[in-house]
């Protein structure tokens, strides 16, 4: 289990993440590049909806105007009749109703297309992240917990959902509404609009100050969630180990520390965020009172005739005079309230935007990870022999393989029959550059030979096989496969030539047949059954409730460890690879089952080069060459009889115990 650096206690200030607004720009570029047509339609719907909501105040002013014109006054010496006023009001209401219907229709269109856009975007992002993960090197998964990686698919991409489905549409809608309201209010009264500008400045300052503080903590929150989920995944996977060693209390203590850190950053992020909306709401209330005070003062000062600065003002005798009527003040107050509410909605969406930026940063970190390099150009192909014994490439499955080697110098292509001849020449390797774990390892495996590695845990046995299939690249030395440097062979073709049975079996959700066929997806049912018979798995499979159609879940938890391993061996058998790697393949199988497996694997290994890693020395006695490793060095090599005769390290291991501890 990986050791985690524990975060600081409650009294410490949690680290603050740094928002990268370039990630938001990159996210928007993806949206506008891939979903341009949908965005245009949604944009038009947002525009119509926002304008429809913003112009309602004008119609309220018009209704009030009709009512005022029915009253005799100095400003209206010839009032209109009640019928004329009623007709005008009805006409205004009908027009307003049509506008609202148009707005509702736009909202429906926006909602439906927005859902389609959001789900398509999320689907594409998940596809991109998953496809990228298949190209990442093994060391990436060694260095990152599985739970933290899963958090990218769940929390981080879900944060993007909030942004695309809610925050961006609402931001666009509110922005259009603000612009429309600003134009209408400025049209009604410039002086009153100046008071609104003061409110805008105050709201902007508060949003920048408080929102900026919450942004860093939201970034830290996303990272803390990933660490918590990573730890949960590790403990769930190792629950048996936790219970066996009675470490429940320690596990809880570590989780509490991680959860405490999550609490700290989350409480600060949401604390600052929750302050924002009430403050902006109260600024809106102050603005409402200020406008009422200014408007009422102007109206009273002008004795009811009104003095105001507006676009409809006229110069009379050098005096800038206009009329500020009650209906203008009433309409302006309503729009000012709406303006403040809309500003509050923008600040309320700030949380989602910040979380989306934090999530996008983690998603893009995965997408920007350097992929597993593969400069190979030699491929593995099926061939057949013509009458002259020449190898000819074919699409048929002939069970005869060859390396297709194009030569850049002269443009020719040669075919080298796959024999399984593997040579390691003075190989040095370390998982990190400054810590070498294999030192000057040299070995050769001739076609059909069985090469066994023995040694204590950590001696480097599995590391050697990881280098053969290029899960990692060496620091120094050469590895040749049938005389070809493995760096020249495409990794997919190299690994296709290797059948691997690991100590830790991995079964996928699906039927037994599907798990066996995973070794070669084009294998027929008959070939899968023959592979099962070869691995001596057929008998127990036929006794399962649904035989080969029995569903396996939770990594085959409904099977014994030995049965799971037999299925894993059958999967390697159906792959029909020329080279086999048996990494402690029988360590989880009882002695009786091991004898059955060995009979099957003996047939499986006929004519193949085989690398065997085992703790049980009884499983390697028949190997052609046994190599004893100690701290990354080969200290002895030879057959079982030769090594016993030398009475060295292998002899001590063999006579002391049949299993290495």
| Residue 416 clears pLDDT 80, i.e. is over it | yes
The confidence band for 315, taking pLDDT boundaries of 50, 70 and 90, is very low
Phi-psi region of 51 (alpha: psi -120 to 50; beta: other; left: phi over 0): alpha
| Residue 87 clears pLDDT 90, i.e. is over it | no
Q: In 3-state terms, what secondary structure has residue 479?
A: strand
The confidence band for 336, taking pLDDT boundaries of 50, 70 and 90, is confident
| Residue 275 clears pLDDT 80, i.e. is over it | no
Helices (H) and strands (E) in the chain, counts: 22, 18
Out of 48-62, 293-307, 352-366, least confident range: 293-307
Quick one: pLDDT at residue 348? Answer: 67
Query: What percentage of residues in the chain have a pLDDT greater than 90?
Result: 9
**Domain map of the chain by residue range?**
21-367, 379-417, 422-656
Quick one: pLDDT at residue 566? Answer: 84
Name residues whose C-beta falls within 8 Å of residue 192's C-beta, 6 or more positions apart in sequence: 185, 291, 294, 295, 308, 329, 332, 336
Choice between 532 and 280, residue whose per-residue pLDDT is larger? 532
Interatomic CA distance for residues 110 and 31, integer angstroms: 16
Mean pLDDT of 193-204: 79
Task: Domain 422-656: give its CATH code.
Answer: 3.40.50.300
Quick one: pLDDT at residue 312? Answer: 41
Query: Which ranges constitute the DSSP H helices of 383-489?
Result: 461-468
Interatomic CA distance for residues 152 and 156, integer angstroms: 5
* CATH class of the domain comprising 21-367: mainly alpha
């Amino acid at each position: 289990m990986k050791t985690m650096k524990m975060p600081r206690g409650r009294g410490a200030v949690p680290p603050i993440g740094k928002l990268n607004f370039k990630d938001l720009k990159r996210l928007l570029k993806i949206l506008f590049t891939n979903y341009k047509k949908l965005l245009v339609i949604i944009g038009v719907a947002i525009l119509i909806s926002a304008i429809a909501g913003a112009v309602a105040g004008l119609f309220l002013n018009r209704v009030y105007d009709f009512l005022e014109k029915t009253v005799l006054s100095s400003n209206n010496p010839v009032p209109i009749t009640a019928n004329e006023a009623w007709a005008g009001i009805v006409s205004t209401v009908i027009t307003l109703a049509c506008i609202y219907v148009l707005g509702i229709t736009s909202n429906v269109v926006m909602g439906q297309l927005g859902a389609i856009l959001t789900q398509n975007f999320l689907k594409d992002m998940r596809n991109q992240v998953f496809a990228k993960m298949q190209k990442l090197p093994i060391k990436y998964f060694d260095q990152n917990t599985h739970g933290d990686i899963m958090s990218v698919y769940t929390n981080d991409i879900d944060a993007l959902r909030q942004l695309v489905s809610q925050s961006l549409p609402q931001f666009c809608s509110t922005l259009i509404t603000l612009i429309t309201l600003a134009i209408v209010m400025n049209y009604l009264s410039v002086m009153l609009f100046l008071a609104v500008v003061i409110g805008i400045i105050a709201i902007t300052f508060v949003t920048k100050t408080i929102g900026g503080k919450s942004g860093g903590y939201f970034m830290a929150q996303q990272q803390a969630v990933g660490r918590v989920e990573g730890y949960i995944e590790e403990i769930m996977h190792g629950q048996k180990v936790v219970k066996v060693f009675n470490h429940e209390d320690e596990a809880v203590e570590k989780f509490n520390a991680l959860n405490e850190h999550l609490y700290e950053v989350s409480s600060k992020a949401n604390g600052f965020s929750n302050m924002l909306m009430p403050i902006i709401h109260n600024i809106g209330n102050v603005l409402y009172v200020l406008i009422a005070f200014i408007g009422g003062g102007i109206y009273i000062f002008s004795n009811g005739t009104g003095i105001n600065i507006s676009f409809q003002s006229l110069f009379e005798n050098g005096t800038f005079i206009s009329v500020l009527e009650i209906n203008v003040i009433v309409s302006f107050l309503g729009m000012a309230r709406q303006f403040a509410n809309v500003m509050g909605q923008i600040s309320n969406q700030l949380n989602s935007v910040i979380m989306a930026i934090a999530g996008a940063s983690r998603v893009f970190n995965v997408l920007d990870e350097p992929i597993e390099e593969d400069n190979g150009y030699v491929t593995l192909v099926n061939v057949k022999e013509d009458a002259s014994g020449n190898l000819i490439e074919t699409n048929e499955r002939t069970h005869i393989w060859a390396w297709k080697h194009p030569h850049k110098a002269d443009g020719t292509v040669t075919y080298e029959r796959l024999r399984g001849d593997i040579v390691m020449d003075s190989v040095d390797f370390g998982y990190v550059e400054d810590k070498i774990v294999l030192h000057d390892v040299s070995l050769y495996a001739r076609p059909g030979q069985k090469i066994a590695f023995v040694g204590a845990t950590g001696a480097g046995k599995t590391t050697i096989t990881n280098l053969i299939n290029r899960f990692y690249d060496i620091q120094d030395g050469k590895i040749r496969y049938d005389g070809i440097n493995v760096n020249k062979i495409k990794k997919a073709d190299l690994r296709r030539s290797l059948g691997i049975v690991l100590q830790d079996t991995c079964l996928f959700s699906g039927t037994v047949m599907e798990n066996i066929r995973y070794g070669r997806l084009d294998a027929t049912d008959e070939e899968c059954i023959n592979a099962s018979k070869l691995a001596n798995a057929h008998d127990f499979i036929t006794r399962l409730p649904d035989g080969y159609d029995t569903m396996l879940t939770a990594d085959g938890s409904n099977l014994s460890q030995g049965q799971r391993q037999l299925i894993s061996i059958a999967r390697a058998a159906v792959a029909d690879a020329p080279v086999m790697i048996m990494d402690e393949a029988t360590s989880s199988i009882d002695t009786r089952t091991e004898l059955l497996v060995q009979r099957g694997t003996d047939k499986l290994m006929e004519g193949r080069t085989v690398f065997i890693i085992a703790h049980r020395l009884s499983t390697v006695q028949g190997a052609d060459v046994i190599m004893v490793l100690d701290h990354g060095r080969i200290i002895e090599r030879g057959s079982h009889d030769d090594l016993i005769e030398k009475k060295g390290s292998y002899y001590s291991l063999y006579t002391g115990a049949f299993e290495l501890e």
